[in-house]
Amino acid sequence: MSFTDQLASALQESWRLKARPEQLAPPGPWRIWLFLGGRGAGKTLAGASWVHELVQSGKYGRIALVAPTAADARDTMVEGVSGILETAPNWARPTYEPSKRKLTWPNGAIATAFSSEEPERLRGPNHDAAWSDELAAWNEPQATWDQLQFTLRHGRDPRIFISTTPKPIKLLRELLAREGRDVRVTRGSTFDNAANLAPAFIEAVTARYAGTRLGRQELNAELLLDTPGALWTREVIDRANGQWKLPDMKRVVVAIDPSGTKGEEDSGDSVGIVVAGLGSDGFGYVLADRTCKLSPDGWGRVAVRAYHDFRADRIIAERNYGGAMVAHVIKTVDPNVPYKEVVASRGKIARAEPVAALYEQSKIRHAATFVELEDQMAAMTSDGYTGDGSPDRVDALVWALSELMVSGPIPMNFVAPVVITSADIARATSPHLARGPYYAGANDVPYLPTRSS
């Protein structure tokens, strides 16, 4: 054996000696390895090391790296402290071309980065392996997963490694149901990796989240299913998440659930901002979740931009909590935006129940998978909200759908300012528009198209 081979063998064994069992690929035949891990459990290091092993074996040379966003792929999987570049040995260090989203190893192996924001980019390439990171946080999990499967047509034994903190999305539940067949599952908690994490971090998250549902999910990597007494079960939410062809909209509203936050620097809750429409087919459609934690000027601009993006007929917010403040913020950003105050004559749960009933009747459809919103929905019970913080997203959702479908029929004399076509909605829900910066800065003049544009 040459010196280089000896060195390669020593480096390989060094990872296997220090890795925990759940960080190593399971023995035997499998197609999918699913590593469910808490925050900081060493999922990224496991994924990067697995990729290095594939490349060094010489049996795999066309690898897909799939992350929730393009920034996640770059900042975590490739350039992160536990990512591929940082953990690569000097003798087998890949060259990274960010503009091509490509890593190339000295032996010719190639890895290409993709994001769940653009599943269609997975059309065309051939792969013999894939590392799918934080699958439960993907923007379009099913569409991205389906496209990835079609690319795994290279080599003799294509394999997928999934590293994720669990959330009860449909795709993850389906994969877990295949455990023991073509899926192998390993599990690790945040505390399993405590020796490699800052003691202050462990102390802080233990004090704040130990014993809570959020802690069980984010730290212990438990897959939490339906909460007893939930107004929205996961089955009901899954039904709303079909791949719908969006119709023209009779009405579109932007609903705001205000909070006392001054921005990212304080401990206040986020400002819920949800866009919903009433389709020409009679169904209600949740079109966007633009909830944010910004200053009043910041979230006001986000809400007004949503109003224009979706050509909504009005913005609505609760009068009982911050209604006057919301009106002032919205009118300061754009005095021409129609604004309506709604009155909370009943509690949150009583308001939510009629909307939950619409979901049970399959009258509401989601234009995309809204992970954070759906987590809050699943945590709303007949006894109150069991999640962490405030149900800001759900409150905004309830106000939007109540305005469209619960408050009574549309008045005979109501005329929507414009017809909101399916093409308008498709443009407004594009990832680049919906997730990009709404304005370059607080002092910039916002782009506010006219209603006829």
Q: If DSSP states are collapsed to H, E and C, what string results for 10-53?
A: HHHHHHHHHCCHHHCCCCCCCCEEEEEECCCCCHHHHHHHHHHH
| Per-residue tokens: 47 | 């994924």
pLDDT in tens, 399-412: 999 999 987 555 54
**164 Cβ partners below 8 Å, 6+ apart?**
34, 35, 36, 37, 43, 132, 133, 134, 135, 136, 137, 172
Predicted confidence at residue 241, as pLDDT, reads 87
pLDDT in tens, 316-368: 998 755 557 888 999 999 999 999 988 776 778 888 999 999 999 999 999 98
SS3 content of the chain, % helix, strand, coil (to 5): 40, 20, 40
Query: Average model confidence (pLDDT) for the chain?
Result: 86
For the beta carbon of residue 249, count every other beta carbon within 10 angstroms.
Answer: 27
| Per-residue tokens: 298 | 């910041």
Predicted confidence at residue 447, as pLDDT, reads 34
Separation of alpha carbons 232 and 137, rounded Å: 20
What mean pLDDT comes out for the span 228-247? 88
Predicted confidence at residue 259, as pLDDT, reads 78
**Whether residue 429 has pLDDT greater than 70:** no
| Per-residue tokens: 142 | 């099913």
For the beta carbon of residue 447, count every other beta carbon within 10 angstroms.
Answer: 9
**Whether residue 445 has pLDDT greater than 80:** no
> What pairs with residue 143 in β-bridges?
none
pLDDT in tens, 156-171: 999 999 999 998 888 9
What mean pLDDT comes out for the span 383-394? 86
**319 Cβ partners below 8 Å, 6+ apart?**
341, 342, 343, 344
- Domains annotated on the chain, with CATH: 3-218 (3.40.50.300), 234-435 (3.30.420.280)
Separation of alpha carbons 273 and 293, rounded Å: 10
pLDDT band at 93 (very low <50, low <70, confident <90, very high): very high
